[in-house]
Structure 1
């Protein structure tokens, strides 16, 4: 099992930036505390998620996901690791775009204001982490955060996830709940229910998957630690200095598993060319074949096209 560091970001300073950036440059995963997202708000969103996934198939089907990456995806609709996965992912999900008029099932629509409160807390936290990473990389503090403008179009999505109970030994052997993959955007915030494990990260040193400990059940804590990982676009942006690491969800925990992933993306028109300052004075070499430029929005469209068949 991985022994992930937990960093308190409640009073960020240069040492906080150094600790977060160190984790981002090595494994690319870190737990954070002092983040300001209350456990009570998390509980409410998880309760909504449980109600959502109990709806009838026909009701959820009305909100089926499309090319805009919003809405419901059923069990088997995704295969995140098509090269090695025997079967498609054993999970359901519902993607909610921030600050939009997206049609939602009534169970979510009736709590839209609360969902927006949660989404804003997530976006504020991502911008705070972006500033810490910029300081840790000796860039201007707003270098990354300024490209995460909520008034502009981006691929940012809040994803409610449900992994149904694993009921057979055959399923344990042959199924993964989510295939091995990296995330697409800049940062991912993962909210987990206490005691519901299953996430595994590939250790780059050993090339083996290691379990990530889930938060421990405790009624005394006002907040739970949030798992943060670096995603592909931030890796491109930093010429590979910050690591987007392969991870998956398995059936090691066999009960129903709920999680909430906040996939933070830079503005669609953000140029993901590696930051010149990060190349200077380092051993990184940008080969001619890597000199092309891709915008964040186009990068996401290509990744989604490889994941879904709408």
Structure 2
């Protein structure tokens, strides 16, 4: 059975007004979309997934030596994370590796990552390459959204570069490369265990690669007002025989807050769908969470569309917090940390 795709597919090969309007339309309606023309080949994506799988197959005693810290960097063991603390009492049945403190000019983290990645120069190269390319892709998407929002030019920065100026490649940010592994689980009731609880993402935009036959992502659609599964969508081979499949893009809370809700940060979750329970298939995903620079103020975006919204998001704030303050608040709730 093929699941109908509820999301738009936008080709971002070119930065122009038409593409910006398509992207903007998806971001202001569903908050989620598929993006093709992202520049990743199928072979490149397969290589990253292979690296991720090899890491998670390492002994638990090794992985836990690099346990996640209060900066959101490191390995999160099974049950260590709860994205829906109000709705779920138990931690979630997944493991993850977060790589933060990223310098996008070098593709490297200033923090310690598992030395397994340095034992083979090719592993280190793969990480640095994907970090840099995810950053460039996120900036392209932010530029298109800025064009769609018709952000005003100023003496300091052109409107289309407003978001980019707050996502400098060399300044400190909470941006994160994340490898995720959800082991398969067989159950008679697909609702028995939620892999990742209902939540919205914390930052600017999220970029996600998932694999065929490893479904599980669902969005609570702002349009249909119900949970809708997001299927795997294959590459359009009529456009390219080597291109990887479209990746999932979604708007995060900061971008929604900045724009007074014009851009939608949509609730989503990962669950054990019936088909996957039957097969017992694991799910792996590769995610990049784009965050503004720590120092960026969450002040209203200078756009007529944003100015027209009263008493919401940054338009309703008496004082403006920074991107780091916002992220720290969300992480404390997710991991149960004391700020």
Aligned-partner SS, 1:260: strand
Query: Counterparts of 1:294 and 1:96 in 2: how far apart (Å)?
Result: 24
Does the 8 A contact of 1:199 with 1:250 survive in 2? Answer: yes
Please, which moves more after superposition, 283-292 or 187-196?
283-292
Matched, 1:18 2:21: yes
How has the CA–CA distance of structure 1 residues 174 and 262 changed in structure 2, closer, same or farther, with 3 Å as cutoff? same
How has the CA–CA distance of structure 1 residues 183 and 106 changed in structure 2, closer, same or farther, with 3 Å as cutoff? same
Query: Counterparts of 1:121 and 1:168 in 2: how far apart (Å)?
Result: 38
User: Match of 2:46?
Assistant: 43
Query: What displacement does 1:279 show?
Result: 5.8
Query: What displacement does 1:75 show?
Result: 1.0
User: Match of 1:298?
Assistant: 325
Aligned-partner SS, 1:262: strand
Does the 8 A contact of 1:87 with 1:175 survive in 2? Answer: no
Q: Deviations over 1:236-282 (max 9, x none)?
A: 11111100000000000331000011000010011112224346762
Aligned length: 309
Partner of residue 131 from structure 2, selected from 108, 119, 125:
119
Does the 8 A contact of 2:235 with 2:244 survive in 1? Answer: no
How has the CA–CA distance of structure 1 residues 47 and 281 changed in structure 2, closer, same or farther, with 3 Å as cutoff? closer
Matched, 1:239 2:253: no
User: Match of 1:32?
Assistant: 35
TM-score normalised by length of structure 1: 0.94
User: Match of 2:113?
Assistant: 104
User: Match of 1:272?
Assistant: 298
TM-score normalised by length of structure 2: 0.86
1:1-310 superposed matches below 5 A: 1-97=4-100, 98=102, 99-109=108-118, 110=120, 111-139=123-151, 140-169=159-188, 172-216=190-234, 220-252=241-273, 253-254=276-277, 255-278=281-304, 282-286=308-312, 290-309=317-336
Please, which moves more after superposition, 149-158 or 201-210?
201-210
Query: Counterparts of 2:289 and 2:28 in 1: how far apart (Å)?
Result: 19
Structure 1 runs, 4 residues or longer, greater than 6 Å off: none
Query: Counterparts of 2:87 and 2:309 in 1: how far apart (Å)?
Result: 33
Query: What displacement does 1:7 show?
Result: 0.8
How has the CA–CA distance of structure 1 residues 35 and 289 changed in structure 2, closer, same or farther, with 3 Å as cutoff? closer
Does the 8 A contact of 1:200 with 1:249 survive in 2? Answer: yes
Query: What displacement does 1:103 show?
Result: 2.3
Query: Counterparts of 2:98 and 2:42 in 1: how far apart (Å)?
Result: 21
Please, which moves more after superposition, 284-293 or 87-96?
284-293
Structure 2 unaligned segments of length 5 or more: list them. 103-107, 152-158
How has the CA–CA distance of structure 1 residues 38 and 192 changed in structure 2, closer, same or farther, with 3 Å as cutoff? same
How big is the alpha-carbon RMSD for the aligned residues of Structure 1 and Structure 2?
2.0
Query: Counterparts of 1:280 and 1:237 in 2: how far apart (Å)?
Result: 9
Query: What displacement does 1:206 show?
Result: 3.7
Aligned-partner SS, 2:25: helix
How has the CA–CA distance of structure 1 residues 217 and 85 changed in structure 2, closer, same or farther, with 3 Å as cutoff? farther
Does the 8 A contact of 2:41 with 2:242 survive in 1? Answer: no
Aligned-partner SS, 2:194: coil
Please, which moves more after superposition, 266-275 or 108-117?
108-117
Query: What displacement does 1:195 show?
Result: 2.5
Please, which moves more after superposition, 175-184 or 276-285?
276-285
Structure 1 unaligned segments of length 5 or more: list them. none
Aligned-partner SS, 2:21: helix
